[in-house]
Amino acid sequence: MPRRSLRDVVHAAVECATVRPVGNWFDTAVRCRNQPNRVPCRGYVTVKWEPGEITWLCPDCGDSGSVHDWEGGDSDLREFAADPFDDPEHELLLSPSEFAVLWGLDELRYACPRLLAACTYRDGRVEMAGSRRELMYLLATIENLETPLRGEKLRAVDDVVRYVAATLEDI
Ligand SMILES: [Zn+2]
């Protein structure tokens, strides 16, 4: 997977911060882009949102930055932060590589913005919490992807689809 640019990191930080509460540091499921001594950092970005400023920090390597001019941009997900539907949240545990494939699909990030941006890496797994509606959107979007997936990506997405479908059946 190609290393992400600064622009991608800024986008990701704003997406992840604006679906979380203001004022504290929060873990995300977004991998650090830094390569100290040309070795890709294995850390995950943390984000903090305060009035006027979003800051990100990788606790593993210390890579950090801040954004001020984010309000109203297409990474500003505040309008999606609260699910207006009174629907319980369902917890799923993904592998970091499964999450990375989902996160890399622009159509999915567009269709299910809060669901992906609110994911959190913890103890080797990525925690995803979604409403039934969000999970159904996820399945429908994957079913209608314009670019067919191949190889590893296809296998990862197939596994996620089976997992999400089984979770929805249990509800
Ligand atoms: Zn790092």
Architecture of domain 83-169: 2-Layer Sandwich (3.30)
- Tokens (6 digits) for 50: 């305060």
Spacing, Cα 4 to ligand 1 middle (Å): 12
Spacing, Cα 30 to ligand 1 middle (Å): 11
pTM, entire model: 0.90
- Tokens (6 digits) for 82: 């609260």
Nearest 10 degrees: CA dihedral of 161, 85, 16, 138? Answer: 20
Helix (H) or strand (E) holding 27: strand 25-31
Burial track 86-108 (b if 16+ CB lie within 10 A, e otherwise): eeeebebebeeebbbbbbebeeb
For CATH 3.30.70, the residue range(s) in the chain are 83-169
3-state DSSP assignment of residue 110: helix
Spacing, Cα 31 to ligand 1 middle (Å): 8
pLDDT tens for 118-150 read 999 999 999 999 988 899 999 999 999 998 899
Spacing, Cα 64 to ligand 1 middle (Å): 9
pLDDT at 89: 81
Would you say residue 102 has pLDDT above 70?
yes
| Measured distance CA(98)–CA(61) in Å, rounded | 24
Spacing, Cα 43 to ligand 1 middle (Å): 5
Closest by Cα among 72, 67, 62, 82 to 134:
82
pLDDT at 32: 93
Give the confidence band of 84 by pLDDT, cuts at 50, 70, 90.
low
Instruction: Please give the average per-residue pLDDT across 154-170, as a whole number.
Output: 94
Instruction: Please give the average per-residue pLDDT across 92-100, as a whole number.
Output: 96
| Measured distance CA(13)–CA(58) in Å, rounded | 11
Distances from the Cα of 31 to the Cα of 34, 36, 118, 152, angstroms: 9, 14, 14, 18
Instruction: Please give the average per-residue pLDDT across 95-116, as a whole number.
Output: 93
Distances from the Cα of 141 to the Cα of 31, 136, 147, 160, angstroms: 24, 9, 12, 13
pLDDT at 149: 93
36, 3 Cβ separation under 8 angstroms = no
Spacing, Cα 79 to ligand 1 middle (Å): 29
Spacing, Cα 35 to ligand 1 middle (Å): 7
| Measured distance CA(164)–CA(157) in Å, rounded | 10
| Measured distance CA(120)–CA(17) in Å, rounded | 12
Out of 4-18, 93-107, 121-135, least confident range:
4-18
